[in-house]
Chain A
Amino acid sequence: MRQRFSKLWALAAGLAIVQAVVHAAWVFPLWQKNFAPKQGSYEGLTSDQMLFAFAGFRELIAGILWVRADTFFDEGNFDAILPIIYLVTRLDPHQIDVYDTGMWHIAYNFTDEGSRSDRRYVPSAVALGIEGANNNPSTYELFYGTGWLYFHKIEDDYAEAVKWFEQAMTKNDVVTARRNILNNAYQRNGQVDKAVEYMFKVLEDSEAAVKADKEYAARQNRDTIENNLDNLLVRMAQRGEFARASGHYDGWDYDTKPPFDVGFSARVTVVEPKVIQVEGTWNVLPVGTRVRIVLRDSDYPDALPAELTWNQGTAIKLDPPKGLTFMQDQLFVKNQRFSREIDMSRDPNMYPFTKQKYLVEFYYNPRQAPAYIQDKFGWNGEGMTDKNFLNTQIRPGARVVYTTMELTREQLLRTGEWKEKVPIQQTKNFAGFGSKQLDDNVIKVPGILSEPGH
């Protein structure tokens, strides 16, 4: 009996080693590679939700939480949605809508009283997009969504937009109507040749689609692409792109010649604590120019000229960095001038003003300009210049307008010596508006009220 049991014990011990080896070397690695949910965190779930999640209802719990988030959207309780987005994407990393809506929500919905987005959140939106795309590589949606963040929200770093859109276009489920965006991204990134090449490819595909399906939608799509391609080719001709490529640009007149001096000047007045009045000139008469203004801590981490390092890794931070100030707005040009009051006094969380020194940056990049302005300025600003503030360094390949001013905390808060004295910073060339001082409600239309020479 004892001997029989000793054999059984030995057999059990042997099998124990076999099971450990089978599991560690065979089953577990295969399972982890192919079947394990991509996220493993249950942090933040209530005990009943956690139990359900463990019991195999991860996706159900994720769905219930997302429905809950919807009610918070309706209530305008945006802060409450952030942890839900985080939790849902951890429970079910294939909830494409949650990633997509989450990105948009984080990047667009946190605003101050003046509807200015809190740009400190944008790196988190980008991180969410990258994570979502990595977790869902077979669909175009999150590649497109991340590209759209760069293209539309960040409105800069167009190389990143191109990178994401290019990946989106390789996916089988990409929607036909969304394919044109890569053409626009190429143009904004200054890659006009790539844009043309891409549009010919898209046109070819649309021709094939029409042959396969003669329905109205397919024909309409083909016609739209053809129209866009026509416009692009005409613009390239007018802006001298073909001549530049063949080395004949200097010998002929093109719309982009000679470079137009935009005559930028600006003045910043701290009219009240945390309220600034920004005024300036911009000699372009047609409306549509938006000059970017940034007011930030002079030592803001990861700051770049007139923007931030938007891709700060894949860590999704639900709270923006506390104690840091980064305000970004657009100065809309009308009648060759801009004037705007920016009130940062009502949102102390967004504008804490804890640092001693602040940088005010003015930035204009023709790559963001509407097409009718680009017709003069060119894709990269070759038809634009500024006697004082032209910069060809901060955005490689583009000619932009850029300048900075400094303000101190005392000046912005109107304390100390600035309690009675009004702090004013201005560019050396700022000389007021002079004859441009017109009724704000009237927009001068070129050809009717425009001044000679403009």
Chain B
Amino acid sequence: MNVILAIAKTTLGEAIRRRVLLVILLVGVLFVAIAPALEALSPRQELTVLRSLTLGVIQLTSAVIAVVLTVYLIPNEIERRTIYTILSKPVRRWQFMIGKYLGAVGALGLMMALMTGIMLLVFVVMGKSKDVSDLAMLAKVPIAFFIQMSLLAAVSVFFSTFASPIVNFFLSGGVYLVGTMFDSFFNVLTKETQPLIVKIPATIVHVIIPNFQSFNVQNSVINPTQVIQNETMLYVGLSVYAVTYISILMILGIIVFEYREV
């Protein structure tokens, strides 16, 4: 466990020093900070647009950070040959991979916490929140996003065990896009009128692909009039689902990484 934590700590330190990530983070923070200026886009819906925009920026920026951060995790170590030094020590490959993943997730968490903090600050400074419970409701959404991005990072780490960073970037991005969009098409593709040849593959894809859409819980915050039931159960379910899926990806990644000649 100490080995994993040591690798995670090093990865976290490296990640928060990477300029490209800091630039992406800066762009995200800037957008969150200037979001109130775009309220005018929808009279009488200012708060709706502000919430939608800030949460959307956090989600999009986090997705980019998650992918950019993780696509280089293992390939960089191989390219710089530092992996030989690490693996020559009493460190197992699975420990190395899990440590790397946890470090990346830690860095992602820090960056998302920063953006969330800025968002809450904007709401307080601009007087857009009524009370602390209002802010708490808003802050809950990035937690779901964090679980979502941890899953995306796992997808990317898995691909990084066998794909080059550029290929991985598009692969992970593609999986994220399909995992976000598929629900919209799933209901259409599995309608009773559809032939089995369409329904069966659609159902298989729906089961296999990580379902990122289910982590998009912002709708209830953007439109607070919506009556929500079993919110806690959803968050618990999301966590169980994400941990299970991440475990699968880690196991598959470990198997591939073990076979890889390094």
Report the separation of the CA atoms of residues A174 and B85 in the bound assembly, to the nearest whole angstrom. 71
- Residue numbers in B under 8 Å from A8 (CB-CB): 251, 254-255
Whether a CB of chain B sits under 8 angstroms from the CB of A26 is yes
Whether a CB of chain B sits under 8 angstroms from the CB of A35 is yes
Whether a CB of chain A sits under 8 angstroms from the CB of B10 is no
In the complex with contacts A8-B255, A34-B234, A42-B184, A63-B218 CB distance below 8 A: no
The interface of chain B, by Cβ under 8 A from chain A, is 38, 41-45, 48-49, 51-53, 55-56, 59-60, 177, 180-181, 183-184, 187, 207, 211, 213-214, 216-220, 222-223, 225-231, 233-234, 237-238, 240-241, 244-245, 247-248, 251-252, 254-255, 258
- Residue numbers in A under 8 Å from B225 (CB-CB): 94, 136, 138-139
For the complex of A and B, list the 5 residue pairs with the smallest distance between their C-beta atoms, beginning with the closest.
A63-B42, A59-B52, A63-B41, A56-B56, A138-B225
For residue A106, give the distance in angstroms from its CB to the closest CB of chain B. Answer: 20
- A22-B241 in contact (CB<8A): yes
| Given A31-B214, A56-B55, A67-B42, 12 new contacts (CB under 8 A) | A1-B258, A8-B255, A22-B237, A22-B241, A26-B240, A27-B241, A30-B237, A60-B41, A66-B42, A94-B222, A96-B44, A136-B225
In the complex with contacts A35-B228, A138-B225, A28-B248 CB distance below 8 A: no
Residues of chain A from 7 to 29 with CB closer than 8 A to chain B in the complex = 8-9, 11-12, 15-16, 18-20, 22-24, 26-28
For residue B240, give the distance in angstroms from its CB to the closest CB of chain A. Answer: 5
Whether a CB of chain B sits under 8 angstroms from the CB of A33 is yes
The interface of chain A, by Cβ under 8 A from chain B, is 1, 5, 8-9, 11-12, 15-16, 18-20, 22-24, 26-28, 30-31, 33-37, 40-42, 54-60, 62-64, 66-67, 92, 94-97, 136, 138-139
Report the separation of the CA atoms of residues A9 and B41 in the bound assembly, to the nearest whole angstrom. 52
Report the separation of the CA atoms of residues A24 and B241 in the bound assembly, to the nearest whole angstrom. 10
Report the separation of the CA atoms of residues A28 and B190 in the bound assembly, to the nearest whole angstrom. 15
- B226-A56 in contact (CB<8A): no
Report the separation of the CA atoms of residues A328 and B220 in the bound assembly, to the nearest whole angstrom. 44
- Residue numbers in A under 8 Å from B184 (CB-CB): 40-42
- Residue numbers in B under 8 Å from A59 (CB-CB): 42, 45, 48-49, 51-53, 222
- B220-A58 in contact (CB<8A): no
- B255-A5 in contact (CB<8A): yes
Binding site secondary structure of chain A: helix
Report the separation of the CA atoms of residues A178 and B221 in the bound assembly, to the nearest whole angstrom. 29
In the complex with contacts A22-B244, A24-B207, A97-B44 CB distance below 8 A: yes
Q: Which residue of A lies closest to B249 (CB)?
A: A12
- A63-B49 in contact (CB<8A): yes
Report the separation of the CA atoms of residues A55 and B53 in the bound assembly, to the nearest whole angstrom. 10
Binding site secondary structure of chain B: helix
- Residue numbers in A under 8 Å from B177 (CB-CB): 54
Contact of B233 among A1, A30, A60, A94 (CB under 8 A): A30
Report the separation of the CA atoms of residues A28 and B41 in the bound assembly, to the nearest whole angstrom. 32
In the complex with contacts A23-B214, A27-B214, A34-B252 CB distance below 8 A: no
- Complex A-B: 14 CB contacts under 8 Å: A8-B255, A15-B244, A15-B245, A16-B248, A19-B244, A20-B207, A27-B234, A30-B234, A34-B220, A34-B230, A35-B219, A92-B48, A94-B222, A138-B227
In the complex with contacts A15-B251, A35-B217, A55-B228 CB distance below 8 A: no
- B59-A12 in contact (CB<8A): no
Report the separation of the CA atoms of residues A20 and B211 in the bound assembly, to the nearest whole angstrom. 10
Report the separation of the CA atoms of residues A66 and B41 in the bound assembly, to the nearest whole angstrom. 8
In the complex with contacts A8-B251, A12-B251, A35-B220 CB distance below 8 A: yes
For residue B137, give the distance in angstroms from its CB to the closest CB of chain A. Answer: 13
- Residue numbers in B under 8 Å from A24 (CB-CB): 207
Q: Which residue of B lies closest to A173 (CB)?
A: B225
Q: Which residue of A lies closest to B233 (CB)?
A: A30
In the complex with contacts A20-B207, A27-B238, A56-B59, A67-B219 CB distance below 8 A: no
- B251-A11 in contact (CB<8A): yes
Contact of A94 among B53, B187, B223, B254 (CB under 8 A): B223
- Residue numbers in A under 8 Å from B226 (CB-CB): 34, 94
In the complex with contacts A63-B42, A92-B48, A28-B211 CB distance below 8 A: yes
For residue B243, give the distance in angstroms from its CB to the closest CB of chain A. Answer: 9
- Residue numbers in A under 8 Å from B213 (CB-CB): 31
- Residue numbers in B under 8 Å from A95 (CB-CB): 42, 45, 48
- B211-A33 in contact (CB<8A): no
- B252-A12 in contact (CB<8A): yes
Report the separation of the CA atoms of residues A60 and B47 in the bound assembly, to the nearest whole angstrom. 11
For residue A70, give the distance in angstroms from its CB to the closest CB of chain B. Answer: 9
Report the separation of the CA atoms of residues A268 and B178 in the bound assembly, to the nearest whole angstrom. 63
For residue A103, give the distance in angstroms from its CB to the closest CB of chain B. Answer: 16
In the complex with contacts A19-B245, A55-B59, A27-B237 CB distance below 8 A: yes
Q: Which residue of A lies closest to B218 (CB)?
A: A56
Most central of A12, A33, A34, A59 by chain B CB within 10 Å: A59
- Residue numbers in B under 8 Å from A18 (CB-CB): 244
- B45-A63 in contact (CB<8A): yes
Q: Which residue of A lies closest to B245 (CB)?
A: A19
- Residue numbers in B under 8 Å from A60 (CB-CB): 38, 41, 49, 52-53, 56
- Residue numbers in B under 8 Å from A41 (CB-CB): 184
In the complex with contacts A15-B247, A19-B241, A19-B248, A31-B41 CB distance below 8 A: no
For residue A436, give the distance in angstroms from its CB to the closest CB of chain B. Answer: 52
- Residue numbers in A under 8 Å from B229 (CB-CB): 33-34
For residue B224, give the distance in angstroms from its CB to the closest CB of chain A. Answer: 9
Report the separation of the CA atoms of residues A36 and B220 in the bound assembly, to the nearest whole angstrom. 9
- Residue numbers in B under 8 Å from A96 (CB-CB): 44
In the complex with contacts A9-B255, A95-B45, A30-B56 CB distance below 8 A: no
For residue A167, give the distance in angstroms from its CB to the closest CB of chain B. Answer: 15
- Residue numbers in A under 8 Å from B240 (CB-CB): 22, 26
- Residue numbers in A under 8 Å from B251 (CB-CB): 8, 11-12, 15
For residue B88, give the distance in angstroms from its CB to the closest CB of chain A. Answer: 19
- B220-A56 in contact (CB<8A): no
